[in-house]
Amino acid sequence: MRSKTTIGKIDIWLLLIYLAFMTIGLLSIYAAAFNEDFPHIYDFSQNYGKQLMFMGLSLIAGFGILLIDAKFFNAFAYVIYGLSIFTLLLVLVIGSKISGSTSWIYLGPVSFQPSEFAKFGTALALAHYIGKLDTDLTQFKTKLTAYGIILLPMLLILAQGDAGSASVFIIFLLVIYREGVGGKILIIGLTAATLFILSLCVSKWYVMIGLVVLYALFLLLIDRTKKNIWLLTWILIAACAFVFSVDFAFNHVLKPHQQTRINIILGKEKDIKGVGYNLNQSMIAIGSGGFSGKGYLKGTMTKYNFVPEQHTDFIFCTVGEESGFVGCFFLIALYLALILRIIHLAERQRSPFSRIYGYGIACIFFFHFAINIGMTIGLVPVIGIPLPFLSYGGSSLMFFSIMMFVFLKQDANRMNIL
């Protein structure tokens, strides 16, 4: 029954999507960082040369993963998670500062971003924990542990001052939802998000007046049993407390540059010279692409570096400017295909570990791509998280690839799970 090799059974569609991303990624970085004096794509002194090298390393790592026993990642999930937590602690001690956050470790010439590692580690640990046969998510203690697994790396990354990377972990809630925690959490989450945005957009006092009015309305409409009144009152108090704490967190926890970014998105501040400059330039670059774009390597905004951090967090500008709406449509469709394919494969897994892990990485990819593209077109605040497979950077490319290949391996091995 058991086949010796699983490599032949890997999902060819997912692999093709992955390779397509690699190709697009390299072409985009070449366009974004293009330097006429060093036109060779394999020139290692240039960013595209380096990215090519990272891609090679990622493929080697991926191939290596396919050779490892599939059970390894389930068995060693906690060890990998522990290691990633350790590197997060380490970065707080010996990390180097890049644009205000301490999130890098330098080992000689190699730099490494532990928050990328932590996403992988958390996906494994969560899958292992929830996937265990004796885990019952209906129990309060179990839920708490699951949230704890997510919260620990999140807090450590927040301590580095990297709110963007920390926010990625929120998406794991969707994984927990899939595994059976009530839909209430989604409703509460959506309500919280609405309140969050409202309390930042308008004065917290107006939000609370609105809440009290709603409270009064509900009181009129529902059965006024003692239990219902109590419940409603508690909800009101909790909502008010939430609004207050959002207001407090915004004014006292967030750094001024983060406040400004959020204010710009909310339209409270018009600052196209300072922080808004990035966003404004980015939107001009994408907007100027029109329907079919200016053509590969022909984007003037891109060419003359008007968009800062263009080859990293703002790589989508290059796509938008040079290949237009058509290119953007294709790229977003490709991301959707990637994520939906992973979910589809996850659902056919026999082992809960593989399924939960699949959902974990699908959610990570989703969050990264939605937030990154959203920020370049002014839908969400500018938070520095990379666009999977496209943004320049060794750590993110490497870990996105590893996450992918671990899942490919799990999937290829699914028939061997009894």
Partner 1 sequence: MIKNKINYSQRKYVIGSIFILVAVILLIKLFIIQIIDDSYKQSSESNTLRSVTLYPSRGKIFDRNGKLLVYNDAVYDLMIIPKQAKNIDTASFCKLLNINNKTYNNYLKKAQKYSMITPSIFISQITKEEYGRIAEMLYHYPGFYFQTRSIRQYPMPIAAHTLGYIGEVSQKDMKRDSYYKLGDYIGLSGIEKYYENKLRGKKGIRFTVVDVHNREKERYMNGACDTLPQPGTDIILGLDADLQAYGEYLMSGKTGSIVAIEPSTGQILAMVTSPSYDPNELVGRKRGMKYAEINANPDKPLLNRAISGTYPPGSTFKMINGLICLQSGAMNVNTAYPCNGPNSAPIKCTHYHSSPVRLYDAIENSCNPYFWLAFQDMMNSRKFKSQKEAYQFWYDNVTSFGLGRSVDSDIPYTASGKIPKKEYYDKIYRGVWNAMTVRSLSIGQGEILVSPLQLANVAAAIGNEGYFIEPHYIKSFANSNDSVSFQKHIINIKQQHFKDVKKGMRNVFEGQHGTARMSVIPGISVAGKTGTAENPHGKDHSILMAFAPVDNPQIAIAVVVENAGFGSTWAAPIASLMIEKYIKGEITRPALEQRVLTLNED
The nearer residue to partner 1, 62 or 131, going by C-beta atoms, is: 131
DSSP 324-344: HHHHHHHHHHHHHHHHHHHHH
Contact stretch for partner 1 (CB under 8 A) within 65-73, 121-129, 132-140, 229-237: 132-140
Q: Which amino acid is at 303?
A: K
Binding part of the chain for partner 1, among 64-72, 107-115, 209-217, 366-374 by CB under 8 A, reads 366-374
Residue 142 interacting with partner 1 (CB under 8 A): no
Give the range of 25-33, 40-48, 171-179, 237-245 binding partner 1 by CB under 8 A: 171-179
**Of the two residues 48 and 81, which places its CB atom closer to partner 1 in the complex?**
48
Which residues in 76-105 contact partner 1 (CB under 8 A)?
Answer: none
Q: Which stretch binds partner 1 (CB under 8 A): 4-12, 84-92, 154-162, 327-335?
A: 327-335
Query: According to the binding rule CB under 8 A, does residue 187 interact with partner 1?
Result: no
**Residues between 14 and 43 that touch partner 1 (CB under 8 A):** 35-37
Residue 67 to residue 62: CA distance in whole angstroms? 9
The contact pattern for partner 1, residues 292-321, with x = CB under 8 A and - = no contact, is: --x---x-xx--xxx-------------x-
Alpha-carbon distance of 14 to 336, in angstroms, equals 12
How big is the CA angle at 377 (ends 372 and 379), to the nearest 5 degrees? 80
Looking at residue 360, its amino acid is: G
Give per-residue burial for 38-77: e unless 16+ CB within 10 Å, then b.
Answer: eeeeeeeebbbbbbbebbeebeeebeebbeeebeebbeeb
Report the alpha-carbon distance of residue 66 to residue 46 in Å, rounded. 31
Tell me which residue has tokens 């659902």. Answer: 347
288 touches partner 1 (CB under 8 A): yes
Half-sphere exposure of residue 58: CA atoms within 13 angstroms, side-chain side: 24
Is 277 a residue that touches partner 1 (CB under 8 A)? yes
Out of 14, 125, 345, 373, point to the residue binding partner 1 (CB under 8 A): 373
Among 4, 184, 252, 273, binds partner 1 (CB under 8 A): 273
Q: Does 185 bind partner 1 (CB under 8 A)?
A: no
Taking a C-beta distance cutoff of 8 angstroms, is the pair 150, 126 a contact?
yes
Q: How far is CA 87 from the centre of its chain?
A: 19
181 versus 207: smaller Cβ distance to partner 1: 181
Q: Does 284 bind partner 1 (CB under 8 A)?
A: yes
Task: Determine which residue in the list 110, 221, 291, 418 makes contact with partner 1, applying CB under 8 A.
Answer: 291
Indicate the angle between helix axes 12-32 and 315-347, nearest 10 degrees.
170
What tokens does 130 get?
Answer: 């929830």
Residues at the site binding partner 1, with contacts judged by CB under 8 A: 35-37, 133-134, 136, 174, 177-180, 183, 186, 272-273, 277, 280, 283-284, 286-291, 294, 298, 300-301, 304-306, 320, 324-325, 328-329, 332-333, 335-336, 339-340, 343, 347, 359, 366, 370, 373-374, 377-379
